Structure 1
């Protein structure tokens, strides 16, 4: 996690959009999150996984966590809510596409950002982000609903675009965890297959209304190609999943015990093939292996066991 937060004021450019208020210095103030909720006539609902981010300072900082060289010409936002983050994204992006599944909130966003929509700077897509056709985008910045954060993240990661996403703290820290740590697991390997993962800020429950029961984490995912080759990604991920179901077992026993998950027809042949290459790997445990080592094992398993 970073030790300091960027100066949002120096990074956010004035937007001059409809509905914004002029500050005393002549600049354009950001839309107030409480005022947006008042105009929308909504309150958060924990039963619907709906927690509105209301801390202006956090909202201002989120766009600044994009990588310095990120193309911000078209930013995708999943779960626009009442538009507080949308407003901040318009200060760094040429265009923002918002996916919002709540029909009443989508209607409010179309009204609130009518001027920006007319100027072709905002597009509102009403629907479930797990089902709608996502547009081409250059980066994604979103405060994700906790309940679908994993599914959304792994819909976005293969697009290989810069992502700045809000998760539950535990989830974000597991994504970024290093091999050999308690938090390291299948999620870590899968996310780091696609990107460099950093927890850039911990956000307290008080930044939301209603406050969730847990802390949140803002996570930056900077896409890059893996340092290893994977011929069949689906099998690679199934193989990693299988071995982590037996994380306290040795890799030797994990391969033998999880053929029903990994899809191996000849697990003993895989054990023999791994032994011929690196006997030490068979005595290791899943939590100690780096993603490249999983890729090596998966390659052997693909060749000798399927």
Structure 2
């Protein structure tokens, strides 16, 4: 039996008849070694029955995903590239193994996927990530390196912030590979990184998930202030009616910290108190 060879990414771009357009946030991943490694970052026991890819481009990663999955759904907002993917992978489409959805990943109805592996459009990577994370499915996603490191940051580090707490609320987040900008065509201005998100429940409880996330966001808008001042100054963001009641009831040592030093569990404890006495 002849071993299947992955499609060459440069040849795919030539057949597609177009280059990536930085103005449209199109940077095609063309490094074969990186492309081959990305699917391997899915945990061994992950359900590969239906993989989701957002931003299919010319199909280099799509090709690799079809080699490891029963079915793949790819979302591509560029109508010409969506048409190319259907033509290039016509056999997989005919077999029911590939579905190409033309549209914006922030607007289209996502299928009931088992895991997502994507080289995301960087301009909307945050919005897409936070559409995917609440689905609580395994994710392997390419981001700008700075964004990736903030997602995975621990409390007390310079990179730790709202993004770290919010992503960590849904999953264990780890940077699994740094990718040089030369791996893309056209070459972007920034370095990139691959992030693996393994869903799990947090080790704390919150009375209301949206309130907790809004509360964290509010506090980090004043990360240089003590939590005492941050809670008082951001009631219009967190939705508190009586922030002073929260400050008065909270632990003094916690309220003397700045947001960057507050762990997710401490944020949850304070958010629960705010939910009880501050609304």
Q: Determine if the TM-score, normalized by the shorter chain, exceeds 0.5.
A: yes
Deviation of the 1:68 alpha carbon: 1.9
Paired position in structure 1 for 2:254: 281
Structure 1 residue 132 corresponds to structure 2 residue 132: no
Note the 1:182-197 alignment, pairs <5 A: 182-197=158-173
Task: Quote the Cα distance in structure 2 between the aligned partners of 1:110 and 1:90.
Answer: 13
Partners of 2:67 and 2:174 lie apart in 1 by: 23
* From 256, 259, 268, the counterpart of 2:235: 259
- State how far apart, in whole Å, the 2-side matches of 1:226 and 1:247 are: 23
Q: CA RMSD in A?
A: 0.9
1-side partners of 2:43 and 2:3: how far apart? 26
- Give the alignment partner of residue 108 of structure 1, picking from 60, 74, 84: 84
Find the counterpart in structure 2 of residue 290 from structure 1.
263
What do residues 51-80 of structure 1 show as CA deviations (whole Å, max 9, x unaligned)?
Answer: 000000000000000112211110000010
Q: Out of 184, 200, 220, which is 2:196 matched to?
A: 220
Over residues 102-157 of structure 1, what are the superposed CA-to-partner deviations in whole Å (9 max), with x where a residue is unaligned? Answer: 00000000101110011111001111000000000000000000001000000000
Aligned partner of 1:64 in structure 2 is 40
Equivalent residue of 2:237, what SS? helix
Q: Does 1:211 align with 2:187?
A: yes
Shift of 1:279: 2.0
Within-5 A mapping of 1:16-165: 26-165=2-141
Alignment of structure 1 residues 231-250 onto 2, 5 Å? 231-250=207-226
CA–CA distance in structure 1, aligned partners of residues 120 and 206 of structure 2: 29
SS for the counterpart of 1:29 is coil
Alpha-carbon separation, structure 1, partners of 2:160 and 2:44 = 28
Which secondary structure does the structure 1 equivalent of 2:207 belong to? Answer: coil
The answer for the alignment partner of 1:21 in structure 2 is none
Matches within 5 A, 1:172-187: 172-187=148-163
Alignment gaps of 5+ in structure 1: 1-24
The 2-side partners of 1:76 and 1:231 are apart by: 32
SS of the residue corresponding to residue 235 of structure 1 reads: helix
The alpha-carbon deviation at position 231 of structure 1 amounts to: 2.0
What TM-score comes out, normalization by structure 1 length? 0.90
Within 2, Cα distance between the matches of 1:288 and 1:108?
49
CA distance in 2, matches of 1:115, 1:270: 61
TM-score (norm 2): 0.99
